[in-house]
Amino acid sequence: MSESNEPMTWNHTAQDEFFMQEALREAEAALERGDRPIGAVIVHNGQVIARGANTFTTGKSDIAHAELNALLRCTAYLQEHGHECVIYTTCEPCVMCLGAIIMANIRAIVFGMPDNYIEGRQVIQAVPYIGKRVHRYQGGVLQNECIQLFRRFSEAEAALCLQGKAPS
């Protein structure tokens, strides 16, 4: 990881966009339910093995994030194949989700919009254990689509994520 606060990025592929579209479908379903529109998919060898959407509000659980919901749907599979998987999520993972992704042995994390409020990327820089295990940390895949969906939910929350502080 670089020392800046910006997400590390690589050139993304058509496959990255395809799977981010799948994560966006999960986020759209969350929005339709009244939840914060964040979606995630876990991919192994070009196949979606698990899906998750934020159920923070409807599930009445502060830890029901999209990434955790996806991880919990394929825990046994991840024990054997986690290091070969990629997680796609519409918003940069928070500290809790990042920790869970690392403990599931997923080495590749691809996200749409940055979260400049929580800045989970700072954990990668600060904790050597995590930094050694994250081999790909890419932001900006279908970023505009992810931001627009989030803004449909809450302009204020989108601004908080994008600007790192509440709008004045």
Give one DSSP letter per residue of 68-131, joined into a string.
HHHHHTSHHHHHHHGGGEEEEEEE---HHHHHHHHHTT--EEEEEE--TTT-THHHHHH-HHHH
Catalytic-role residue among 26, 67, 92, 119: 67
What SS3 class is residue 45? coil
* Mean confidence (pLDDT) of the chain: 92
- 9-13, 133-137, 157-161: which has the minimum mean pLDDT? 9-13
Has residue 1 got a pLDDT over 50?
no
Question: Among the listed ranges 2-6, 8-12, 30-34, 147-151, which one has the minimum average pLDDT value?
Answer: 2-6
Q: What is the pTM of this model?
A: 0.92
User: Is 157 a residue of the active site?
Assistant: no
> Comparing 17-26, 68-77, 118-127, which segment has the lowest mean pLDDT?
118-127
